[in-house]
Every structure is written in C-alpha cells, then in structure tokens.
Amino acid sequence: MSKSFLDKLKDIVTDEQVLTAHSELIPYESDGLTAFKALPRAVVLPNKQSEVISIVRLCHEHSVPFVARGSGTSLSGGSLPNERGIVIGLNRLNSILDLNIEERYAVVECGVINNDVSEASKHYGLHYAPDPSSQLVCTIGGNVAFNSGGAHCLKHGMTSNHVLGIKAVLPDGTVVQIGGHSLDSVGPDLVGLFVGSEGLFGIALEIILRLVPMPEGFRTLLAAYPSMEQAGDAVSSIIDAGLLPTAMEIMDNLTIKAVEATVHAGYPTDAGAVLIVELEGEIVEIEEEFKCLRKIIYESGAYNVTSANNQNERALIWKGRKGAFGALGKISPAYIVQDGVVPRSQLGSALAEIDSLSEKYGIRVANVFHAGDGNLHPNVLFNNSDEEMLEKAELLASEIVQMCIRRGGVITGEHGVGMEKREFMNDMFSDKDMDQMLILTDIIDPHQIANNDKVFSRSRVPGI
C-alpha cells in the first residue's frame, strides 16, 4: 500500500482505528459466504460520520477501492474485501439519532443493529417490521444495501418498503440527502433506487426508518405434511382463499431432523415437510381468519397440526425456524445457502426438481424457505475438506439458480448478487439492460472504487 495513502488515512482517524496487521485483518477476510476469501490492505473503523466522509474522499482522490462493511453477515460475498483496497467497518456508527413516536419514524446511523430499532421502540408499542433471521447482528446499513427481507415480509414488505430517507456519501465524496420523513414523495423515487444497490452507490450514513404499531395479537400454527408438494400446495390454497398471513415458511424433512436434534422445537421428525403460518392483527379479526386457515390446512392433507395458544408456544414454533441455519451446521461441516425465487404456484414442482438434482450430484440439499413469496433457500450440504465435493456443490447450487430463471423467477430474492451471483446477471438481463446499470454505476462512481467488483463481472481497477 502506498505510504502516503495510509498516512493520510491516519490523519483522518487515530492509529488505533486503522488495522493493518495480518492477524487483525483475518476476521475481515470473508463474510457469511466463507467460500470466498480475500485480505484487504487495511481495515478502518471510523467513529463518526465525518470520518467516513473524509475516508471516502481520500479513497476517491487516490482511486483506492473500498468495501463498506456492517456485521459481515452477507451470504453472497457482498462484504468480501478487495485485495487492493480497504474495508470501512461501520459498526461504531451505531446511534439511534431520533425516535419520533408520534410521527412513527426513527433516524438511525448505518451501524445500528436491526433488532435494536425494534427494541428501542417497543416500549411505545411500535417496531421496525423487516426481520431478517440475522436481525440480532446485522446492521441497517447492510439491510439497506441488500434490501433485506425476513420471515414476516410477506405482509410487511422488504427493507425498501420501510426506508423513508437516506443521507449518503457517494463514492466521489459528495454527501446527499434523499427522501425525507413523509410516507409519500414527489419526483423520482431515489430512495427506492438506492436501497438494494449493494454498496455500489456509496455509503448510507443515516437512514430514516418507518415504524409501525406492533400487532394486537398473533395466531401461529405448525402443520406437518407427508410431502413437500402438499405443503407447497397448501400455501397456494391459503392465498387463493384470500388470506394474507404475515409469514408462511416451509422446512423439509432433513431440516426438521437437524432442528429437532439441536433446538427441540417439537417438530414431528417423520414429516416430509412442515409449514408454519402466522397471522397477525386485531384479535377479533385474526380469530376469524384463523378458523378459515385451519379449515384449509386440514383440507390440504396436513396430518398433524399444532396451534400456539400463547407467546411461549409461538416462540417454540419459531425457535425451530430461526434455529434452522445453525442446526444445519451440526449435520454438515459446510453448506451453501442458496437464494432464488420461483413463481409461487411452481413451488411443488421446483422442489421436486431440486430433489432430483440432489440425487444426480449425490449431495444432500436441505430446504428452508419463505414459501409465501416463492423464495427458496435450498442449503447445499458438503464437506469443505473435500475439494471435489465443493466443486459439485457449487455446480448443484448454480443449477438451482438456473432453474429459477427458467421458471420465470429470479436469481436472488433477498441475499443479493454480491460476488456469488455475478455470472447469472446476464441470464436475467439483456446486454442493453446490463449496459444501462453499468453506465449508472460509472457515473455515480467515476473511479470505480465503491464495492465495484460486486454485482457485475468486470475488470478491476488497479487500486493500491
């Protein structure tokens, strides 16, 4: 790394905030997708927004690539360091700057943990609705970059549906404020464009989030089915009946067994699939909806139905779902979390196709997914000390993505393109569509330094 750049970095922040020793850099070498690894030249940990702005300006001046990093839970390699650049770790920017209860919004810095927003507002009967399973650790900045979803986004929507305004430093160092405090706006929806831009448009410093009242009540049930197909069909029947649950989640037998072996959520281990459905809202309303839901569930071939009668029972049902990823770690040394979307009515047949792919490669796939919106998370299980198996697992995972595209779906529903899915972008978008996205990126980031090797495959800038 050129001396002058590092020195200048240390003019902005204290020495303590700049990590360069190999041992200090190791924790940053990958994110939630551990198959990719790279060591940055340095990691800088700014304490305040003004430092972030100065750091970005310095990077722009020297054409040094940077990768913004929240908690590094990205599952697509989004926060993978650039070997020729620096990582800007944003966890210290963790203040909730304003909590306006009457107007129902919160202004937070980008390093604030997702769940902390709800924690801070729950006393007032409000919460921040998007709830990625990683919500106890992931940051709002990371959520904004990926437009993250969660189990409850079927009714509430994704991050984008809850961000009202953003203060950002663009890759050229300009600071902009887009959007505002109102639910509505006039003029092009710039906030909508920024959310989901995966760090390519610069760093979101401050975010205005919409808060919504916590529901009066919940009704949650767990239904066991002999097969995945039946569980998938039940989801379609629920939608056809005009119900709008907040969450509909399916897990397959392999996942159920893993979950039961670790968290003991009381899932029937002989089931081909379990379906979790949750309704929320005014109690009198959801009681009526629940009657209708139960009827559909029984008619759809469920052989074992458990309804939660209190908060503890509800928590138990969710414990299994939330612990699913961790539980898979116990039955396999490593796994690839795939993320793709198919039209909801094709869930059953898509799962059958995944099964036959799994057989073809001789590799186990555990399915956990947001069934309500057709968002699949097939987890491809492999042994990471076996090179050949890793290769096969990657091939299998990529065949699943291709299947999603073939079925009229998309390559990612919530984990982003990052490093992992760059080569699939061309399968979804025409060359002209891709050109338009690249032109936009180049104008916003003329020196190609902001997470620039993500999303699109293109030649790298020299860096340092």
Partner 1 sequence: MFYPQSIEEIQRVVVESHAPMVVRGGGTKPGLLNHNDSVTTIDLSDVSGILEYRPEECTFTALAGTRLNDIEEVLSDNDQWMPFDPPMVDKGSTLGGVLAAGLSGPCRYGFGGVRDFVLGISWVSGDGNLLNGGGRVVKNVAGFDFPKLMVGSLGRFGIITEITMKVFPQSQAFATLEWDCLNIEEAVKFMKLLSLSKIEFLALDIESNGIVRVRIGGIQNSLQKRLDSIARYKNGAVIFKDREESEKWSSLRNFCWLDDSCMLIKVPITPDIVCRLDSKLSHYEALRLYSVGGNVAWIGWMDSIVKLDKILENLGLTGLLLLGEYNTPWLGTSAFDNVFAAKVKAALDPKNRFMSL
Ligand X SMILES: Cc1cc2nc3c(=O)[nH]c(=O)nc-3n(C[C@H](O)[C@H](O)[C@H](O)COP(=O)(O)OP(=O)(O)OC[C@H]3O[C@@H](n4cnc5c(N)ncnc54)[C@H](O)[C@@H]3O)c2cc1C
Does 306 contact ligand X by CB under 6 A?
Answer: no
CA atoms within a 13 Å half-sphere pointing along the CA-CB vector of 327: 23
Q: How many residues does the chain have?
A: 464
Judge whether 126 and 211 are in contact, CB under 8 Å.
yes
The span of 19-27, 31-39, 114-122, 167-175 binding partner 1 (CB under 8 A) equals 167-175
Count, residues near ligand X per rule CB under 6 A? 36
Q: What are phi and psi of 108, to 5 degrees?
A: -125, 155
Binding mask 395-424 for ligand X (x = CB under 6 A): -------------------xx---------
Does 441 contact ligand X by CB under 6 A?
Answer: no
Judge whether 161 and 171 are in contact, CB under 8 Å.
no
User: Could you tell me the smallest distance in angstroms from the CB atom of residue 147 to ligand X?
Assistant: 8
Burial (Cβ within 10 Å: 0-12, 13-18, ≥19) of residue 219: buried
| Binding-site member from 57, 92, 181, 319 for partner 1 (CB under 8 A) | 181
Closest CA to 199 of 12, 463, 460, 441: 441
Does 220 contact ligand X by CB under 6 A?
Answer: no
Toward partner 1, which CB reaches closer, 95 or 345? 345
| Binding-site member from 30, 49, 121, 139 for ligand X (CB under 6 A) | 139
| Binding-site member from 56, 75, 293, 397 for ligand X (CB under 6 A) | 75
Binding mask 6-35 for ligand X (x = CB under 6 A): -------------------------xx---
Does 150 contact partner 1 by CB under 8 A?
Answer: no
Judge whether 10 and 18 are in contact, CB under 8 Å.
yes
Judge whether 159 and 147 are in contact, CB under 8 Å.
yes
Judge whether 149 and 375 are in contact, CB under 8 Å.
yes
Does 248 contact ligand X by CB under 6 A?
Answer: no
Other CB atoms closer than 10 Å to residue 314's CB: what's the count? Answer: 18
| Binding-site member from 45, 204, 222, 238 for ligand X (CB under 6 A) | 204
Toward partner 1, which CB reaches closer, 430 or 459? 430
| Binding-site member from 60, 69, 156, 344 for ligand X (CB under 6 A) | 69
Does 70 contact ligand X by CB under 6 A?
Answer: yes
238-261 burial, b at 16+ Cβ within 10 Å, e below that, comes to beeeebebbbbbbbbbbbbbbbbe
Does 320 contact partner 1 by CB under 8 A?
Answer: no
| Binding-site member from 35, 243, 331, 461 for partner 1 (CB under 8 A) | 243
Q: CA-to-CA distance for 106 and 108, rounded, in angstroms? A: 6
- With CB under 5 to 8 Å by kind, the binding choice for 307 among ligand X, partner 1, none is none
Closest CA to 437 of 81, 445, 366: 445
Residues lying near ligand X in the complex (CB under 6 A): 31-32, 67-75, 78-79, 90, 110, 132-134, 138-139, 141-143, 145-146, 148-150, 198-199, 203-204, 325, 414-415, 451
